Amino acid sequence: MSLTNNKIKEKLVEKFGESVFGFEENYELLTFEAPKEINLKVLQFLYDDEELNFQFMTDLCAAHYPDNIGKELAVVYHLHNLKDNIRLRFKVYTSIQKPDVYTATQLFSAANWMERETYDFYGVNFVGHPNLKRILNVDEMDYFPLRKEYPLEDQTRLDKDDEMFGRGGTIV
Amino acid sequence: MYRTTDILTNTPNASLSEAGYMVINVGPQHPATHGVLHLVITLSGETIINVEPHLGYIHRSIEKMCESLTYRQFIYTTSRMDYLSSHINNHCCALSVEKGLQIEIPDRAKYIRIILDELTRLASHQLWWGAMAMDIGAITPFFYAFREREMINDIMEETCGARLTMNYMVPGGVMFDLHPNFQKKVKEFIAFFKSKINEYDEILTGNIIFQNRMKGVGIISKEDAISYGCTGPTARGSGVSCDVRKLYPYEIYNRIEFDEIINNGCDSFARYEVRMQEMKQSLKIIEQLIDNIPEGDFQAKTKTVLKLPKGEFYTRVETARGEFGVYIVSEGGTTPYRIKFRSPGFSNLSALNHMAKGNKIGDLVAIMGSIDLVIPDIDR
């Protein structure tokens, strides 16, 4: 375990200066942010550097913060270094009006489907993705369901006539 | 509502026909896809040019549902994801809540959890073994596998009242104490399964027809397995060391002796071998623990209403299919602000096209069997 969170932080700051910020350690997991314009550069550096070697993408997802004006959508990467067995979390924020983020498919094949899923639920437009279409929802859907403006259906509503699901309708 | 894009536009179109390719649809209702998975396969003669999986036929938006459920309630939805590893999924959620609330759980609960996790892994691998053999045309192994799996299901039923969707592991420990028969029954099962596991090898592993179907097909190199984010036996069959139980030991895995099974074969047979060996390791783990379950509480005292502190939590465990992760973003309330489940099957399935390209159509089902797909886990 030669690689530590501090070492990663030092290397990142050395390379990108003040462009990478917001370093914190959440339960031993190093977390940091960068502007969305350089997300690929940061990922490429993490991937290529001989010591860092973050070549395994564990997860990619998004989160929606409606109150965070101008930075409503967060794209979260969870990366893993299999050699030194260390992980980190990397975030970029984007506005909801222009949710363009560069795709990571050239670095990680896993990003292909994960980015499609993120697009499906949050509408993040991954620029350069080879096949950016919905993956879990129907293709005809015209909204992004995991955004916060879409609340879940009220479980107690009575006006809906779907007897097959045991709600509403006339039960004889 | 059917998906017009799936069904209408993917029928053989002019350009593909001109090139001599044929496009066929497998599923979504097909016994070999183990659920509602839809594959659009482009063929040149019998050779696979491209496989495009279409997912989402049983997407239930569990992540959105979880945003309105409390930290005690959301655990139960994960039993409905990977229904063959429901104990392990519940375990992961319980761990993430415990991590956030800094709850130290009693030793007894830890032992119970690990034993049940490993029993679940055994049951899952048994079902995979039987179902995969059936996929490639052997019926008998299915009955062999279910004979032993039934014993595990009986143990589960006695312990937590359910056979599939367990909901037994809760934040702070387990829901209730073990049944008095538990140790006796588990020991009976171990003795019985040990006498039968060689039958598994005799009937299937050594079979030359089976080996011909499995060896040298569905190849994925170590680099590609890493790139596609494969985990679990799928990645370990390609020589990637990725067992979360070894990399990030949770509960008491660091005190237990067991081996991480790695096979460098990179083909379907390597993945098969990994799972077969893993079953033996699971037996070894249970044997070490079953006589030493400490006395004491089975649940730590927790508040009635759980509130996770503001922050982000990521917990991972090793399910029968690979790394299952729970990513919780908490704003300090009683419900998660955002929850993301990293399901192992999703990444493993994304490598299917890579594995199947260039193989014959007849091998596709064998390759899918070797990935061990559970569709509710992929669709969430």
Summarised one tens digit per residue, pLDDT across range B277-317 is 999 999 999 988 888 888 888 888 888 888 888 888 888 89
Q: How many distinct structural domains can be found in chain B? A: 2
Residues B86 and B30 in one domain: no
Residues B133 and B16 in one domain: no
Is residue B322 assigned to a domain?
A: no
Least confident of A77-86, B16-25, B220-229, B339-348: B16-25
Maximum Cα–Cα distance across chain B = 72
Contacts of A118 (CB under 8 A, 6+ apart): A60, A61, A62, A75, A124, A126
Q: Which residue of A has its CA nearest to B329?
A: A63
Summarised one tens digit per residue, pLDDT across range B38-73 is 888 888 888 888 888 888 888 888 888 888 888 888
Summarised one tens digit per residue, pLDDT across range A116-171 is 999 989 988 888 888 888 888 888 888 888 888 888 877 777 666 666 666 555 55
Residues B168 and B29 in one domain: no
Is residue B331 assigned to a domain?
A: no
Residues B6 and B144 in one domain: no
CB B318 within 8 A of CB B325: no
pLDDT in the model for residue A1: 52
Residues B83 and B39 in one domain: no
Q: Hey, where are the domains in chain A?
A: 5-152
Structure tokens that stand for B52 in this block: 């495009």
The amino acid at residue A117 is: E
Is residue B104 assigned to a domain?
A: yes
Q: Is residue B11 scored above 50 in pLDDT? A: no
Residues B103 and B247 in one domain: yes
Summarised one tens digit per residue, pLDDT across range A99-118 is 888 888 888 888 899 999 99
Handedness of CA B134, B139, B145, B149 (dihedral sign): positive
How many Å apart are CA A128 and CA A8, to the nearest integer? Answer: 28
Q: Which domain holds residue B279?
A: 78-305+345-378
The mean per-residue pLDDT over the stretch A24-41 comes to 84
pLDDT in the model for residue B17: 58
Contacts of B229 (CB under 8 A, 6+ apart): A56, A57, A58, A108, A109, A110, A114, B347, B350
Cβ contact, residue pair B56, A138, below 8 Å? yes
Q: Which residues of A touch B6 (CB under 8 A)?
A: 139
Fold of the domain spanning A5-152: Beta Polymerase; domain 2 (3.30.460)
Is residue B122 left, alpha or beta, with left meaning phi > 0 and alpha meaning psi from -120 to 50?
alpha
Is residue B361 assigned to a domain?
A: yes
Residues B137 and B270 in one domain: yes
Is residue B328 assigned to a domain?
A: no
Cβ contact, residue pair A55, B227, below 8 Å? yes
C-alpha to C-alpha distances, B280 to B172, B196, B323, B342, B361, nearest whole angstrom: 30, 12, 20, 27, 33
Least confident of A60-69, B23-32, B272-281: B23-32
Q: Which residue of A has its CA nearest to B315?
A: A27
Q: Are strands A29-35 and A86-94 parallel, antiparallel or unpaired?
A: parallel
**CA of B261 vs chain A CAs: smallest distance (Å):** 16
Is residue B320 assigned to a domain?
A: no
Q: What is the CATH number of the domain that holds B301?
A: 1.10.645.10
Residues B266 and B359 in one domain: yes
This prediction's pTM: 0.85
Residues B21 and B159 in one domain: no
Compare CB distances from A110 to B240, B241, B347 and report the shortest one's residue: B347
pLDDT in the model for residue A161: 65
Is residue B358 assigned to a domain?
A: yes
Residues B9 and B152 in one domain: no
Is residue B53 assigned to a domain?
A: yes
Residues B231 and B124 in one domain: yes
